[in-house]
Amino acid sequence: MVGTSVSPTGEHWTRTDSLAFWSFGLGMLLENYVFSMSSIATGWVSMPKSLQSLLLAWSPIWLIIGIAVAGPLSDVMGRKNTFYLTMSLYGLGAIGLVFSSTYLWILVFLALMLFAAGGEMNTIMAASHEVMPHKHRSKTMFMELNFINLGGMLLAAVSLFSISNSVSFQRGMVAIAFLVVLAILFVMRKNTPESIRWLERKGMTKRAQAEIAKYYGEVEYQARQEAARMATEAAERQDNGHPRNPSTFLKLFVTITISFAGSAGFGLMTYVLGPSYFKPFTAWIILVATGVGFFSGFLGLWADRWSRKNLLLLGYGGTFLMTVLIYGTVGSWTKNMSFFWVLLVALNLFVNIGYLTEDTLKAEVWPTKVRGTLTAIVRFVSIGLYIVTIYMSQHYSLSQYMLFNLVVWAIGLAGALAWYWRGIETGRGTSLDTASGER
């Protein structure tokens, strides 16, 4: 991503784009780093099953609260100002976590960090589509989302590295590693622009012009506008002058079902399975799941060429079939953990294809003025339902647990099929105006 490249439309990849890409990527990394902490924290203090379930639910609970606040806030006060708020809360929470030695204080400071994480990711999902060059819009979003997997890998690695030491040492290492990345992120964010698209939709023309002059230059920005315009006109010609924009109901049904399955299905297998059934392997399950996701995520380098509809169906269809296999072989892999790891790797390959695709789709289909809010609504509902699944499944046998996971992925597959049949293509170089219906 670093360097300068020229597309046939005259767009350039600039230093500003590199800084924006890395700042969004690191923001995604910290979001999953924080989200994964609850699973690791189950080993920091002794607790009964009921409090363990609360700690595991703590991540999605405070994540959706942050989402609910930051989504509308980013539409009102801007993407960049919202980032400054989330980074400040991150810092306070991480410092407090270093000194948290009781269950209560761990909950308090994790809540602060998770609130910030929810707002951070939601704002990145809105801003990235608006800020990145048209030619690289899909690719950069996929690769930024791949940092989520890297965040889980980093936390698991730090946890495993420090596991032989005291709990306070492990907790301190987790917090310090986070603060180092946060400091780098703050410097990058200082040198990236506010979303020009958001400023223009809010009528802040003078400030938009100032941001263009400071970060891009008039010639470069006009080249980007022209590239997007040409893509929009091409889509209109393909639709014979009658552009199709799916109904709000279809968009909400699809994005909520696929987002719910992505959150609950992945969460139950990655963050809940270990503490509930295989406690000694908790960090290893997180490391393997996110590691597979990270390396398979580099397929996103070709995301601008591929169909979003096809990838969504491949991801959710493949995950559903793999979950059928896992459910049907419970008796085998519980006796042979090597078989379990093979199944986990294969499962997460498809999970990641669906996950990267749905997280890209659910932010691009909304108009700019309400992109943060509607993305937040989808994420609030879907992750909120994930919380329900944690409590619904806490007393299941392992076989029942896997059957429940199968039902979750069936719901996601229903959403993917609905978009394949009735949705529009938002990949393959589609402009944001076309994807959002703003054309």
Question: Mind listing the pLDDT tens digit for each residue in 222-240?
Answer: 998 898 888 888 877 776 6
Report the C-alpha gap between 424 and 214 in whole angstroms: 36
The 10 Å CB-count burial string (b at 16+, else e) for 282-308 is bbbbbbbbbbbbbebbebbeebbebbb
Report the C-alpha gap between 430 and 231 in whole angstroms: 6
Contact call for residues 416 and 313 (beta carbons, < 8 A): yes
Task: Look up residue 70 and give its DSSP letter.
Answer: H
The model's pLDDT over 188-204, given as tens digits with 9 standing for 90+, comes to 999 999 999 999 999 99
Q: Can you spell out the DSSP letters for 377-416?
A: HHHHHHHHHHHHHHHHTTT--HHHHHHHHHHHHHHHHHHH
Residue 323 has pLDDT above 50, yes or no: yes
Q: What is the pTM of this model?
A: 0.87
More confident residue, 8 or 115: 115
Confidence of residue 67 (pLDDT cuts 50, 70, 90): very high
> pLDDT at position 40, please?
76
More confident residue, 130 or 149: 130
Report the C-alpha gap between 234 and 300 in whole angstroms: 24
- How remote is the C-alpha of 294 from its chain's centroid? 13
Amino acid identity, residue 317? G
More confident residue, 162 or 274: 274
Of 37-41, 150-154, 291-295, the range with the highest mean pLDDT is: 291-295
- HSE-CB at 182 with a 13 A cutoff on CA atoms is 27
Residue 163 has pLDDT above 70, yes or no: no
Residue 120 has pLDDT above 60, yes or no: yes
**Residues forming beta bridges with residue 12, ordered by sequence position:** 6
∠129-133-139 over CA atoms, to 5°?
70
Report the C-alpha gap between 201 and 208 in whole angstroms: 10
Residue 112 has pLDDT above 60, yes or no: yes
Dihedral sign from CA coordinates of 42, 48, 50, 51? negative
Mean pLDDT value of segment 390-400: 91
Mean pLDDT value of segment 304-323: 96
What's the mean per-residue pLDDT of the chain? 89
Residue 16 has pLDDT above 60, yes or no: yes
Residue 164 has pLDDT above 80, yes or no: no
Mean pLDDT value of segment 404-428: 96
The model's pLDDT over 324-361, given as tens digits with 9 standing for 90+, comes to 999 999 989 988 889 999 999 999 999 999 999 999 99
